[in-house]
Amino acid sequence: MANKFNQKNITNLTENKDRLLNYSKKIEEKFNGPSAYFYQQVINRIRTTKDYSILFNDTNFIEYIYATLTAWGMHRMDKNTRMAEFQDFRNSIVRNKDKFIGLSKKKIRDTNLEELKEDILNVFSSLKIMSRDKAPKFVANSKVMHFLLPDLIPPMDKGHIYYFFMER
């Protein structure tokens, strides 16, 4: 039986966006080492690039996203948690370039998320980040979306965020 969304938690979250953002900033202060380094490279590049669209032609930038995911535990040598090969990963992001560009100016604080729901879900469902076709998409795809849309999409994890959004 598939899990259903926990609508009460989702409504509470969307009605209290500022509280979520302030909480996220406190958590960010706890990160260090490779996971923080690579993440900062990605975010700094987005913040300092005047033309967001050129990032999709920058292999080094996409490599930083790839490295950040590995530092955040998305690639392990077991058979279940493996990312796609870099070229497939890159192609998946580049295929969605126009969709990312369309969402890039949106900020979670200033946006009615219901209006963007379809666009966000289209990008989310079309990304191929993990190597296995049947691998769960929630964590990997949402993290890539956060790296490319840091003002709109928060990073997600299975241990905390997934269980917040889903009924058990």
64-87 pLDDT, tens digit per residue, is 999 999 888 777 666 667 889 999
Higher pLDDT, 68 or 27: 68
Q: Are 82 and 131 in contact (CB under 8 A)?
A: yes
Q: Specify the pTM.
A: 0.78
Helix axes 86-95, 59-71, angle to 10 degrees: 110
Q: What are phi and psi of 108, to 5 degrees?
A: -60, -35
Task: Give the mean model confidence (pLDDT) for residues 75-103.
Answer: 88
Find the DSSP H helices in the chain. 7-15, 17-28, 33-48, 59-71, 86-95, 97-103, 113-126, 138-148, 163-165
* DSSP designation for 157: -
Q: CA-CA distance, 168 to 19, in Å (whole number)?
A: 24
- The confidence score (pLDDT) of residue 150 equals 94
